[in-house]
Structure 1
Amino acid sequence: MDSWVRFTAQSQAKERIIRAAQYTCTLVGYTLQRGGAAGNLLRTISQLEAHLSLTRKLLRLGNSVEALEAAKRAIHLSDSVLRLCLTISHLNKAMYFACDNVLWAGKTGFIPRLDQHKWSQRSFRYYLFALILNLTRDLYELRLLMECQARYRHIKSPPSANLGTALPNDQLSSLGTPATTDMLVLRLWLRQLGKVLYSNPPLLLDLLKNCFDIFIPLDQLQIYPTGPGFVGVCGLASSVLSLLTIVHPWLKLKP
């Protein structure tokens, strides 16, 4: 099983490159359609996109095993929130890959009478739930880091420090109304959020990637339709971010 996990890990970069090409075709096809391109050209782009999708499904054969192994590792995490989010997320990924494998068998003719729409919808439901859990994990880690930074600032500040003393002198005079105070608090919170994300690139990349990815199943399941153009942009952006984590492994969020 370990050798199979290593084999699937080696094919991830190829799958990400093909994924980027697939969503590039989606975006190009949408742009050409809006521009009134010829039908033959649009059909060629659509066929290329379908072939790339089928190739990706071939490269993902057996990825359920890797997802199950990841779930087995996540179940031993000491943090209960991370343990719950990551374990269930990996289990949903395993089901997503399994449905994807069935779809591949249907598209290649191994299962000729397969209801491809039904299995596609089932696959995207598992994918959506996994992404929701991944985003929950990202937000949880972000909250922990912001709380840690707030405690660090409190330790460095005098015991009497509060919102007023923490603000620059030129802003103290503007604390006149509750609305103004709320705006200053929001500004400080956004500044703190920016500092935390800037100092933690793996968390920033994972958060962005999951935010881009989540629009794909939302569109496919008709929960929040956005159209092929927006889906193409999101898929291409998340693929590029995934490739960055493969080229530079330190950018991959752990565990």
Structure 2
Amino acid sequence: MASVASQVILHPAASGSLKVLATTLGRDKLYRAIQYFARFYAWFLLARGNQYDATRWNALKSHLALGRKLMRLGKPLEHLQAALRASQTASELKEQVTTIARQLGYFGYLTYDAIVWANTVRFIVLKPATAQHVNKRANQFWLAGIVFSIANCVFKTARLTAEMQSLRATSEKDVGSDNARLARLSGLDGIRSATRRQLLIDIFDVWIPAANIGLVSFNDGILGIFGLITSVLALQAQWTAVISK
């Protein structure tokens, strides 16, 4: 029994999970996955008339959402710094502009989201109409950030694909060596794969703030599934980033 327990406790998957969950991003994506599953499952239970269990899952969803807002209190400055760094970096113009706009969108979203959190925990007290306006503004900035992120991913993917095609068509004599060419192709392919993953995440995520401000009328079941999918994708990316170190 001790040997079996040791194999389970010391299994590489268990050790990897601890490494991922030791990061703020890893914990956030796990909590987000549970939050959006709870959103879907509460909708599922309500659709079948199970009010009691639906209330429990709705409470879990709400508390996880509130806890995640607390974890993100310092992130507006992080996105503002990212926007400033992007403005000072020489890059393709369309990618640079969309990167700056994306970071400013997320800065606005998380700034207003912090106000939403402060009002929810009663640290500040807003009038209901003001609280509703702040929440709507947060979702508008969130939507803008995702839209610019989608545009950035499209521009970046197109550029990387063109670079890879050009590199494949270049002779070994022009590149310098076949090993260097293959290494460059591998690096570009890795960046393109990560960009495509982000694009997929954004395509699912964009409907959540769009529904929150009334642009679309998806129910909580659909939005819960979308959020669960993107959370798992982001968690997988964080797993790869942490384990590969």
Root-mean-square deviation (CA, aligned residues, Å) is 2.3
Quote the Cα distance in structure 2 between the aligned partners of 1:27 and 1:132: 24
- Larger RCO (CA within 8 A; separation ≥ 6): 2
1:59-85: per-residue Cα shift (whole Å, max 9, x none)? 111111111111121112222222111
- Return closer, same or farther for 1:108/1:210 CA change in 2, 3 Å cut-off: same
Secondary structure at the counterpart of residue 223 of structure 1: coil
Instruction: Report the Cα distance in structure 2 between the residues aligned to 1:29 and 1:65, rounded to whole angstroms.
Output: 34
**Alignment size in residue pairs:** 203
**Partner residue in 1 for 2:48:** 35
Question: 2:208 maps to which residue?
Answer: 216
- Post-superposition shift, 1:90? 0.8
Q: Does 1:128 align with 2:143?
A: yes
| Correspondence for 1:175 | none
Tell me how far 1:155 sits from its aligned partner: 6.1
- Choose which of 141, 145, 148 in structure 1 pairs with 2:163: 148
Structure 1: how far apart are the matches of 2:28 and 2:242? 20
Rg (Cα) greater in structure: 1
Does the aligned pair in 2 maintain the 1:197–1:204 contact within 8 Å? no
Alignment of 1:50-199 (within 5 A): 50-79=62-91, 80-114=93-127, 115-151=130-166
Structure 1 residues 173-203: Cα deviation after superposition (integer angstroms, max 9, x where no partner):
xxxxxxxxxxxxxxxxxxxxxxx98993212
**If the length of structure 2 is used for normalisation, what is the TM-score?**
0.76
Q: 1:25 aligns with which of 16, 32, 38?
A: 38
Counterpart amino acid of 2:219? G
Partner of 1:202: 194
| Structure 2 unaligned regions, length at least 5 | 1-21, 172-187
Kindly indicate whether the alpha-carbon contact (under 8 Å) linking 1:27 and 1:229 is maintained by their aligned counterparts in 2. yes
Distance across 2 between alignment mates of 1:66 and 1:199: 22
Deviation at 1:56, TM superposition (A): 0.6
Structure 1 unaligned regions, length at least 5? 1-8, 157-195
Deviation at 1:135, TM superposition (A): 0.4
Amino acid at match of 2:202: N
Indicate the percent of aligned positions where both proteins have the same amino acid: 24
